[in-house]
Every structure is written in structure tokens, then in C-alpha cells.
Amino acid sequence: MKLAYPCRIKLKNDAYRICFRDFKELRAESRSYEEALETAEEVLNNLLEIMLEEDEEPCSPSLPKTDEVLIPVRAEISGRIS
């Protein structure tokens, strides 16, 4: 099973706001929903890469809620998460 984290993407004031319940500090905005999905994947994977480089163990993904989408973790990163 592919590793993925739940993310909420919500339109507010002409911007799609991105937030991860498992990483409360991780937030971003995009102009379109499609761009928001790409941005979410990029910022999630960047954070996980930094955490692993600093020997921090990322938490396990929460189960997604109905208003969340799953954002995949790149294979080269998910293989390093236990």
C-alpha cells in the first residue's frame, strides 16, 4: 500500500488553502485546485525529506476524513519511513 497523508484543500478568498492535520505547521496556498494538489505533494515531501535528514521520525498518517484528500509520499521517501 502506498504511503499517503490526508490533506484539506479549501477555497477561501480566491485561494485554495492547503493544510495537513498530521503536520499542523505545514500550510500553503495555490490559485487553482489542481495547483493545490501539486503544491500539497511538493510541500509534504519536502517536509518529510527534511525530517528524515534531521533523524526525526514522521508520524504515521491519520485516516482521512470525508473533506480530505490523500497526498502521496514519493517512493524514495516512503521507503525510509518505518
- pLDDT tens-digit series, residues 5-57: 999 999 999 999 999 999 999 999 999 999 999 999 999 999 999 999 999 99
H or E, element range at 30: strand 27-30
Output phi, psi for 46, to 5 deg: -65, -45
Cell of 11: 477555497
The pTM of this model reads 0.93
Question: Quick one: pLDDT at residue 24?
Answer: 95
Sign of CA dihedral 38, 43, 45, 46: positive
- For the chain, list the domains and their CATH numbers: 4-78 (3.30.160.250)
Q: 15: which residues sit within 8 A by CB, 6+ positions away?
A: 29, 30, 31
Sign of CA dihedral 42, 27, 53, 57: negative
Question: Quick one: pLDDT at residue 81?
Answer: 87
